Structure 1
């Protein structure tokens, strides 16, 4: 349910702008360009990772986003009221590996969406629609940038630190 709420709040204005103000060839071209994010290899994700330290994400308030996200602590708490044995994250290496894999999928989605929001904001600015450009940029930060950082933060928390060579 939270993902439907957040998606509606962000994608509703974007869809309205695109429908009312964006020329269709630009819409389809920018959308296709954004979807190229799905072709980015997983190995490249480290290049745009904000930090290797969870504290950097904590200073930006990323854990707060984790509370209200799709499988965040608030949602899990509400689900557990009705189903006390529910756990989104199961224990075990396979479950953690699956969760890490899912985090890459979610980050890829939000990177593609971040690019499209960015292109739409740029289009709005180029057309002189500064209010739309500002709104789409603000929505982009909340709907895409923070969720990208959230996926990176979660992977940092799920991945055990690597020991330097020669240490136990």
Structure 2
């Protein structure tokens, strides 16, 4: 008679990756499909390549620049803008963690204090990604303005705010919260 596989107390890295990939894929598809459609239909290829090259320069920004681009040093500012609400629907967010805890009651996202510095570095990486995308969306939206595609301007602006600006603010807000924990300064 085969024995049942023992119940794991915490999810495997593959399970964590899957659960956290779902919101990433969902938000990316919702935001990038309209962008791809606009670029394919309306953006001349030399402009497209130039926009990509310019936006990728944001990956070269040092962390100190990101600190200077911080919206506020007060969490209340982010709460007033409803930034924490976004954390319900992101990777390692409330909804994903709740689903994981249903199956793995012992699961906690926040790692040991010794690993919090890694979490802070991850927030900078994610913020940098969204700055790259924000710059690309801005350049493309400017192109739509120049061509007079006003409905596209509205769509691309809304997508940029939801897919890039708010996630940038979310990373900043999370760092502020993490700094309040002991030994993170």
TM-score by length of 2: 0.84
Correspondence for 1:116 among 136, 147, 166? 136
CA distance in 2, matches of 1:2, 1:109: 16
1:77 aligns with 2:98: yes
Q: Which residue of 1 aligns with 2:83?
A: 62
SS at match of 2:49: helix
Aligned length: 161
SS at match of 2:27: helix
Q: Deviations over 1:61-104 (max 9, x none)?
A: 01100111111111100111112222221121x31101000000
1:131 aligns with 2:127: no
Q: Deviations over 1:112-137 (max 9, x none)?
A: 00000011111011011111111000
TM-score by length of 1: 0.93
The more displaced of 4-13 and 153-162 is: 153-162
1:7 aligns with 2:32: no
Q: Deviations over 1:120-156 (max 9, x none)?
A: 1110110111111110000000000000000000000
Tell me how far 1:47 sits from its aligned partner. 1.3
Q: Which residue of 1 aligns with 2:125?
A: 105
CA distance in 2, matches of 1:161, 1:45: 21
CA distance in 1, matches of 2:136, 2:108: 34
Correspondence for 1:32 among 41, 53, 74? 53
Where does the alignment leave 5 or more consecutive residues of structure 2 unmatched? Answer: 1-21
Where does the alignment leave 5 or more consecutive residues of structure 1 unmatched? Answer: 163-168
1:156 aligns with 2:176: yes
CA distance in 1, matches of 2:103, 2:41: 43
Tell me how far 1:37 sits from its aligned partner. 0.1
C-alpha root-mean-square deviation of aligned residues, in Å? 1.3
